[in-house]
């Protein structure tokens, strides 16, 4: 990313007044003062409703904010943002609340949005923006400078962020960063820390799986760790394939594909035929280059993008239920205390063993974590044990 950020596009103020929103979409220039009170609590379901989430690539740029509500109305329609020349979105408090879905920042990015200014952000949504290459700030003076035509230093968007996040933002996103970083073979660290400082169980697990280039992880640091298992429900595999292909080309090789598990859905609501409902995302394994159309996994066929199942394969559900189905939930691959790390794509996915302790160890399938200063995981071991056995 450039050292200085200059944007020539328009700002879209997500106002509480639907008439003001419509006037902006009609091309009427609007200032911050004219926009009036901004909407608080704009959710990811308003940015990208579930009804548009079967779209997983640049076509999402047709839909940002189609679920946005103001004054009991939904003033934004398909293509309105993309065709409006907007590069900046401005909103109130707690922007991006709700279900964690990478579809939301991808839709904004694909519609031309490069910067989001809000009074505050939900943490996971802001991390998703960092990872996908959208700049965020809560400093409205930066908005004024951008709109005045100033080229604002990138450092203005890095304030208050940990060192790793700053590098990712400077690189233009997580996948862009990963192409520049060194990735030596992971190594486990079995010894207790040399300084003898007591550690919680989670701190020990994280330290043993740290990227070899990281000597020590302190609370609040952003770090990379080696994940033993990576899992997600296959609703997002089309998007994963799209982003991987865009960053690395085709085929995109996957590390240890035998430790990547896709399951049918995270709601545990019973079987869903995703072949009929979501046939254009059936390249969940093929996109790795390890499998071709017509081959089978666990006795089930692999479909290429856009291919429909037919005949006896109409109702197959592949390997989605391997982790999260009710019949396997209590005999899953994870031991009770989960001594190895696992990463997953959805933070709100139920923990396989119904344990509150390990389910938030990692929040994204990329293997990036940012332990917060007051982590829910910290109290796992309150005795301050310094032994290296756990």
Domain harbouring 153, CATH code: 3.20.19.10
Residue 289 resides in a domain:
yes
pLDDT of 170 > 90? The answer is yes
Report the pLDDT value the prediction gives residue 231, as an integer from 0 to 100. 80
Residues 304 and 244 in one domain: yes
Give the C-alpha distances (Å, rounded to integers) separating 243 from 105, 155, 175, 201, 288.
Answer: 13, 26, 8, 34, 12
Residues 147 and 259 in one domain: no
pLDDT of 89 > 60? The answer is yes
Residues 163 and 277 in one domain: no
Mean pLDDT value across the chain: 74
Residues 162 and 295 in one domain: no
pLDDT of 227 > 50? The answer is yes
Residues 173 and 239 in one domain: no
Give the tens place of pLDDT for each residue, 299-346: 444 444 333 334 343 333 333 323 333 333 333 333 333 334 555 443
Report the pLDDT value the prediction gives residue 161, as an integer from 0 to 100. 95
Residue 45 resides in a domain:
yes
Residues 168 and 301 in one domain: no
As for how many domains the chain has, the answer is 2
Residues 130 and 62 in one domain: yes
Residue 189 resides in a domain:
no
pLDDT, mean of residues 259-268: 66
Residues 128 and 276 in one domain: no
Report the pLDDT value the prediction gives residue 173, as an integer from 0 to 100. 97
pLDDT above 90 covers what percent of the chain?
Answer: 44
Report the pLDDT value the prediction gives residue 191, as an integer from 0 to 100. 55
Residue 218 resides in a domain:
no
Report the pLDDT value the prediction gives residue 160, as an integer from 0 to 100. 93
DSSP assignment of 105-127 equals HHHHHHTT--EEEES-B-HHHHH
Report the pLDDT value the prediction gives residue 105, as an integer from 0 to 100. 97
Would you state the structure tokens that stand for residue 245, as one six-digit string?
């292909």
pLDDT of 232 > 70? The answer is yes
pLDDT of 27 > 90? The answer is yes
Domain containing 59: what range? Answer: 4-178
Give the C-alpha distances (Å, rounded to integers) separating 294 from 9, 38, 301.
Answer: 46, 52, 6
pLDDT of 223 > 60? The answer is yes
Residue 140 resides in a domain:
yes
């Amino acid at each position: 990313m450039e050292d200085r950020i200059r944007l020539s596009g328009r700002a879209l103020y997500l106002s509480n007044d639907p008439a003001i929103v419509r006037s902006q979409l009609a091309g009427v220039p609007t200032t911050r003062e004219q926009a009036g009170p901004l909407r608080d609590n704009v959710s990811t379901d308003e940015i990208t409703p579930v009804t548009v989430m079967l779209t997983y690539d640049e076509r999402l740029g047709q839909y940002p904010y189609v679920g946005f509500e103001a004054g009991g109305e939904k003033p934004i329609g398909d293509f309105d943002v993309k065709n409006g020349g907007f590069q900046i979105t401005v909103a109130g408090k707690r922007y991006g609340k709700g279900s964690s879905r990478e579809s939301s920042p991808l839709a904004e990015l694909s519609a031309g949005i490069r910067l989001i200014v809000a009074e505050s952000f939900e943490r996971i949504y802001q991390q998703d923006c960092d990872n996908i290459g959208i700049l965020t700030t809560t400093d409205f003076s930066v908005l004024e400078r951008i709109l005045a035509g100033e080229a604002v230093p990138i450092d203005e968007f890095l304030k208050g962020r940990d060192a790793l996040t700053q590098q990712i933002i400077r690189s233009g996103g997580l996948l862009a960063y990963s192409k520049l970083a060194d990735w030596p073979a992971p190594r486990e660290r079995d010894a207790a820390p040399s300084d003898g400082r007591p550690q919680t169980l989670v701190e020990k697990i994280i330290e043993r799986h740290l990227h070899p280039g990281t000597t020590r992880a302190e609370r609040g640091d952003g770090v990379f760790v080696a994940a033993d298992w990576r899992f997600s429900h296959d609703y997002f595999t089309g998007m994963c394939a799209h982003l991987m292909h865009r960053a690395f080309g085709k085929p995109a090789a996957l590390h240890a594909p035998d430790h990547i598990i896709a399951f049918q859905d995270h709601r545990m609501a019973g079987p869903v035929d995703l072949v009929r409902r979501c046939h254009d995302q059936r390249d969940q394994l093929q996109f790795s280059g390890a499998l071709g159309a017509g081959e089978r996994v666990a006795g089930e066929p692999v479909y290429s993008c856009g291919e429909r199942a037919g005949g006896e394969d109409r109702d197959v559900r592949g390997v989605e239920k391997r982790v999260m189905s009710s019949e396997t939930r209590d005999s899953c691959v994870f031991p009770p205390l989960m001594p190895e790390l696992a990463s997953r794509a959805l933070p709100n996915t139920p923990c396989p063993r119904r344990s509150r302790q390990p389910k938030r160890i990692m929040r994204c399938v990329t293997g990036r974590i940012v332990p917060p200063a007051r982590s829910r995981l910290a109290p796992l071991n309150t005795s301050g044990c310094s032994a290296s056995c756990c």
